[in-house]
Chains A and B, each alone.
Chain A
Amino acid sequence: MTHTRTATLVLGARPYGEAPLDVLITEGRIAAVGDAARAQAEQLHAEQPEGLRTLEAEGLIMLPGMVDLHTHLREPGREDAETVETGSRAAAKGGFTAVHAMANSSPVADSAGVVEQVHRLGRASGWTEVYPVGAVTVGLAGERLAELGAMAESSAQVRMFSDDGMCVHNPVLMRRALEYVKTVDGFIAQHAQEPMLTEGAQMNEGDVSAILGLPGWPAVAEESIIARDVLLAQHVGSRLHICHVSTAGSVEIIRWAKERGIDVTAEVTPHHLLLTDELVRGYDPVYKVNPPLRTSADVEALRAGLADGTIDIIGTDHAPHPTQAKECEWSAAAMGMTGLETALPVIIKTMIATGLMDWRRFAEVTSIMPARIYRHAHQGRPLEAGEPANLILIDPESTQVVDPAGHASKGRNSPFRGMELPGSVRATFLHGHPVVLDGELNTPLTHPTPETPAREVSA
């Protein structure tokens, strides 16, 4: 339980890719920045020489720890696919200091008991912060509201509710859910998929599905739900978050909604920023995902939407599956891709290397905005003295060939297998403790963090 070294002096890292600075991290916070960091570190060193770790970080970029609002950790129920422990390790390695575990576990996280279990497991693992997402409806069945109040008041303090995997398609139920979460200061994250329009759907409906003879998942099935829900959110004055936006039309609708002042936020996955339905031509189920990979025109629109702020955040939709769930016929295969350990390089490739955004914007979409959507007080904070030290160091110049066998996640279903991607996470600090060093898992955080996360008071 004792950490001999409790302070870290990071030398010469470039915050947000800007001018190099020294940063001193102690007691879970950024203690000092710049010349003050060195001075304080020297003082610490004099008092307790073995208590200070020095990290040469020349050429590395310092960013706030990434926050994923869309993670499937599979526990309880599918521990063969992932556990909170393995998923947390994957998160830390990928540069995430907080993840939000979707509710489609078994049993479904639709009660205080299940969300508290996931929350406890996350705290015990200590690699990243784990926040359970509560189900909107009992059993994700879309029929009646789950006990949102009980989950909100539980020790997990759930504020984000989603039936992800399923769409809350009943318009009356969706309206009530949007209204009800106002009473617990929460928000609804919608998996936008009109079920009747996507019965048996296997891939994006378009030129490729027509040739492959696979039932299509039309863009309109996503767009019609988003259009309905932004209007519902406006009508009842509630907060709505759209999961994994995948089409150009959805970007247009969200842009329109934001122009009208509707309180909607939106997310895009790394895979939807890079991959297209052309990859399905070989029928390799590693490319099967929901919503499906779309066209290059959609990819362009999603990138533009993320760059201009129409899309607020990156969500990985990390969805590990056991090998046999992908080693089968396309139609029988499970939907989903791993994403925690490839998110950063994919965003660099699609958004930074293309010049579409800078590192400030990178920090916004991966950390600041997701933390703000959840109203976390200690995630997504500025890289300034006094702030909580949830941060990462990345090497933007390195490249890696993706090898899922080396991933900390149990899932091997990475669609980026074999691709050469730019950038890598060198260190991840969770409450000032380096859970990742030199690009490898170090040790988990073992000293307790506050039982109930501090939260901003909502306006």
Chain B
Amino acid sequence: MRHLLSTADLSHTQALSILDTAEEMAAVSTREVKKLPTLRGRTVVNLFFEDSTRTRISFEAAAKRLSADVMNFSAKGSSVSKGESLKDTVQTLEAIGADAIVMRHWASGAAAQLAASDWTDCAVINAGDGTHEHPTQALLDALTLRRGWSAAQGQDPRGTDLTGMRVLIVGDILHSRVARSNIWLLRTLGADVGLVAPATLLPVGVEKWPVSVYYSLDEALGSGPEAGPDAIMMLRVQAERMGGAYFPTAAEYTRRWGLTDERLARLEAHRGAAGQTPMILHPGPMNRGVEISAAAADSPMNQVLDQVSHGVSVRMAVLHLLLSSSERNTA
């Protein structure tokens, strides 16, 4: 693996390798000395064309725990018409001596273009590209889900996948890079995936995806005690979608697709195959009262803080796997 661009092109073996390495990294994070010397002398650049303090800090912490040098490069608004081109920016970073470029970009496909170009020899890590993918978010979600799923079965998570786990993804699938990355990775790991959204927020052609599609969250949650998901992932509703173009009002959205107190109660009553309660995931930041109620946000079933710490472990694993295996070509 030279780059991490999308989960669509991760094999089962590669995905498990990242998750298992992330478990090792998580163990390091609980030690008194949290640093590993693996990437000493290597340089990781966080190239962010779009603000995301959470993701940037997570990558920064991951790189530093592996003893890499970290540079943060904020290039907001860069495009052909205004300011420097992606090509020139990246060639500058290359000249500075970057070994890996962690890129967040507003344009779908920007990371893939960078990896395919001859502008740089750096390892490219997609930290979110437009409405395409956000693979490290999906990997940290998978790490979180795998912990819960294996614990319920009394197993060590390492080496296991998510076979048989039922995961619902609720919200704006159409514009969500988190959803896309999660769908492909969860399927690769053997989970059953259900998408729940108004039809306006599902992509054309979704019926050909290897998922179940529900317009009704209540239907997706099932009715009997045997039905229902093992995990539910609530996507953030973007403010710009609330103007009546995709759904009438925030209130109607909440009524139909929000994780309300009533639906939380149904989830709490639900027991999975091993007697466990379902997990609630959210990529954050949460819109309390819109897609998720305050009670659901604060519920012990909610994994949001674990997701944050798993983010660092997964990003350490990715940096480690991409950079420690290959020496930089200095020619």
Contact = CB atoms under 8 A, between A and B. Distances in A.
B108 A213 contact: yes
A205 interface: yes
B205 A207 contact: yes
B238 to A, nearest CB: 14
Nearest to A218: B204
Interface stretch (B56-64, B110-118, B314-322): B110-118
B131 A213 contact: yes
Contacts of B130: 213-214, 331
Given A205-B204, A213-B177, A284-B113, A328 B108 contact: no
Contacts of A207: 205, 208
A261 interface: no
A211 B108 contact: no
Nearest to A331: B107
A212 interface: yes
A215 B203 CA distance: 10
B204 A330 contact: no
B86 interface: yes
Given A206-B205, A211-B180, A329 B112 contact: no
A206 B208 CA distance: 11
A325 interface: yes
A216 B109 CA distance: 15
Interface residues of A, number: 25
Nearest to B173: A210
Given A282-B116, A327-B87, A212 B107 contact: no
Interface string A210-242: 111111101000000000000000000000000
Interface in B189-247: 203-206, 208-209
Contacts of B85: 324, 327-328
A5 B104 CA distance: 64
A207 B113 CA distance: 20
B100 to A, nearest CB: 20
B105 A329 contact: yes
Nearest to B119: A327
Given A213-B177, A282-B112, A329 B86 contact: yes
A283 B86 CA distance: 14
B180 to A, nearest CB: 6
Interface centre among A212, A214, A215, A324 (most CB of B within 10 A): A212
A210 B108 CA distance: 12
A328 B109 contact: no
Interface string B85-128: 11100000000000000000111111011001000000000000
Contacts of A284: 113, 116
B324 interface: no
Contact of B108 (A324, A331, A333): A331
Given A210-B203, A213-B180, A330 B208 contact: no
A333 B107 CA distance: 11
Given A324-B80, A324-B85, A328-B87, A209 B109 contact: no
A200 B206 CA distance: 21
B133 interface: yes
A220 to B, nearest CB: 11
A194 to B, nearest CB: 16
B13 interface: no
Contacts of B106: 331
Contact of B107 (A209, A216, A332): A332
B132 interface: yes
Contacts of B109: 212-214, 283, 329-330
B79 interface: yes
B8 interface: yes
Contacts of B209: 210
Smallest CB-CB A-B distances: 7 pairs: A283-B109, A213-B132, A210-B203, A329-B107, A213-B131, A213-B108, A207-B205
Given A202-B108, A207-B205, A325-B80, 12 more contacts: A206-B204, A211-B8, A213-B109, A214-B109, A324-B80, A324-B85, A328-B79, A328-B80, A329-B107, A329-B113, A330-B113, A331-B108
12 contacts: A202-B108, A210-B204, A211-B8, A212-B108, A216-B203, A283-B109, A283-B110, A324-B85, A328-B79, A329-B86, A329-B105, A329-B107
